[in-house]
Amino acid sequence: MGKIRRIGVLTSGGDAPGMNAAIRAVTRTAIYNQLEVFGIRHGYRGLIERNFKQLKAHSVSDILQRGGTILKTARCEEFKTPEGRKTAYDNLKDFGIDGVVVIGGDGTFTGARIFNEEYDIPFIGIPGTIDNDIYGTDYTIGYDTALNTVVEAVDKIRDTASAHNRLFFIEVMGADAGFIALYSGIANGAEAILIPEIPDQVKNLKKTLEEGFKRKKSSNIIIVAEGEDEGGAFEIAEKVKSDFENYSIRVTVLGHIQRGGSPTASDRVNASRLGYAAVEALLDGQTSVMVGLQHNEIVLVPFRKAIKQHKDVDRNLLEIADILSL
């Protein structure tokens, strides 16, 4: 691997608030180190379609506070093929790009790892997903904003739940991980939190609701992670409604509202730190690694570990949630 003179940056997979802050940090850190920067639009598809545009310092002005990603994002089946990756490599060589920073999640890192096994252009990953489910980092870009969006929405739902003696099932995002559900459930004082990491929760849910009914609770908020094995919020509400006819049951699916909005200060600062660290990793000769945060310190984690190993929720928080929901 030769000297780094020109780099590319792309966002792939689901968008997340704070991605623009990372793009800005990558761009300006590279320029500070006298590197040229090319933004690659529409993720890996842009690599194959030669959708490259040079970025200057002013190109990333006034984007820090914007949600989404100025580079756009997309999923690309063609990059999963040897032929697609060969086309991407040829395009990178044609543009003289010596390294690439990819911002995304598991799927993004899987593509980068495979590419680095085949070709000599280093890829460095920045964890960008609201799910916060990437192994090797305590934090992923967008998680804090999504969490605060959920908390604000559920606060408003509780107002109407209390006014009408209603039982609300609220479905939140998180793919197959319960981080958003668990943390928002504690922050909102939910009576129950259902996450994929804990099996057979519907039986315990009925018991919790019965105890609440005996204590004459006027409302109940149940947070359901979208990846819950027993179904989403609609399915679980259907399973329990016949046992609680005194409650007016409502279901709310927050959906993609959680992926949008202006990033929080935490997302802006941490995304900036990770963008800076990604360029530094390239300059240090690193390849096929993710830059992450552990105990508020920058760490380098091989793609192999970030992809294959499972990040679990804090089990102590589950006990806290149970105790505080009394």
- Residue-wise pLDDT for 205-235, tens only, equals 877 777 766 666 656 899 999 977 777 889 8
Token reading at 103: 């911002």
Q: What is the pLDDT of residue 1?
A: 54
Q: Decide: helix, strand or coil at residue 94.
A: helix
- 130-166 per-position pLDDT tens digit: 999 999 999 999 999 999 999 999 999 988 877 777 7
Rg over CA atoms, the chain: 22
- 27-58 per-position pLDDT tens digit: 999 999 999 999 999 999 999 999 999 999 99
The H-assigned helical ranges of the chain are: 19-32, 43-49, 82-94, 106-118, 143-164, 179-188, 201-214, 233-240, 265-283, 303-308, 315-324
User: What architecture does CATH give domain 145-260?
Assistant: 3-Layer(aba) Sandwich (3.40)
The per-residue b/e assignment along 144-177, b for 16 or more CB within 10 angstroms, e otherwise, is bbbbbbbbebbeebbeebeeeebbbbbbbbbbeb
Please state which CATH class domain 6-142+263-308 belongs to: alpha beta
Q: Is 131 known to be catalytic?
A: yes
Give the active site residue among 131, 133, 144, 267. 131
Where are the chain's structural domains? 6-142+263-308, 145-260
| Bridge partner residues of 100 (DSSP) | 8, 123
Region class of 158: left (phi > 0), else alpha (psi between -120 and 50), else beta: alpha
The two domains 6-142+263-308 and 145-260 share their CATH topology (first three levels equal):
yes
- 95-107 per-position pLDDT tens digit: 999 999 999 999 9
